[in-house]
Amino acid sequence: MRLKDKVTIITGGGHGLGKAYARRFAGEGAQVVIADVDGAAGEAVAEELNRAGHAGWARTTDVTEYDSIEGLMAGTLERFGRIDVLLNNAAIYVTQKMWMGRVEDCPLDEWDRVLEVNLKGVFMCCRAAIPVMKRQKSGKIINIASGTFLNGTSNMPHYTSSKGGVVALTRVMARQLGDWNINVNCMTPGSTMSEEVVTEDVRKRRADSAGRRAFKRVEVPEDVTGTALFLASADSDFMTGQLLVVEGGGIIH
């Protein structure tokens, strides 16, 4: 029960790794708020947690709309009275039909779409949560980046740039928020088999990633959630501004 009664917001918590974080945090005693643009998926995760005897609540949230984010924070405060952890997981990735190609061919609207969700969405969620955490003089912000920031990629310039921006933003906020006892850290899951529907393309992508790792197997959500739990718990209280790479040795950082 490392997160007993800690009020935790997880964006993109209705699917994939977001759902895995929600399950792990709830199992450790957290009161979990599932914020997802797919309201039905978020409700399904909350109901699952509640049936298991945990505390789950869903709020339909679009991280590209600041009014929606403010509604999330206000609703969380009204229901639980505080915000202890914000896990910024919502993002656009290749499994959501993201454009892939060269920088000079990247459509301008596609660049804006990915940066708006993956970087601006993180910024706006932090912007809305920070005043609450400052009043509490405590809080944990966990941002999800990507190993593409460290290695670079040959076909995802907008995605890679967005995740590099998340790392930079994490470091800035860590410097700014230490006086209020707010921890801001970042982690990079590897290519993780977290989809509800596994296509042949997804299976091949995961297998290719596994072959480049020190641990030559496909990464699964259980390989990732423990690191998020560490960053959310008291075990990381004297750690801020850091980037943890959870890729099985695919990247040695």
**What's the pLDDT tens digit per position in 122-163?**
999 999 999 999 999 999 999 999 988 888 888 899 999 999
Q: Give me the active site residues, please.
A: 159
237 in a structural domain: yes
pLDDT digits over 36-74, tens only? 999 999 999 999 999 999 999 999 999 999 999 999 999
Distance CA 196, CA 25 (A): 20
Q: Does 95 have pLDDT greater than 70? A: no
- Half-sphere exposure for 45 (CA within 13 Å, toward CB): 31
Residue 174 pLDDT: 98
217-236 pLDDT per residue, tens: 888 899 999 999 999 999 99
CATH number at residue 99: 3.40.50.720
pLDDT at 198: 66
Question: What whole-number percentage of the chain has pLDDT above 90?
Answer: 79
Q: Which domain holds residue 45?
A: 7-246
| 251 lies in some domain | no
* Number of domains the chain contains: 1
The mean of the pLDDT values for the chain is 94
Provide the whole-model pTM.
Answer: 0.94
Is 2 among the domain residues?
no
- Using CA atoms, how far apart are residues 142 and 17, in angstroms rounded to an integer? 14
Q: Is residue 1 part of a domain?
A: no
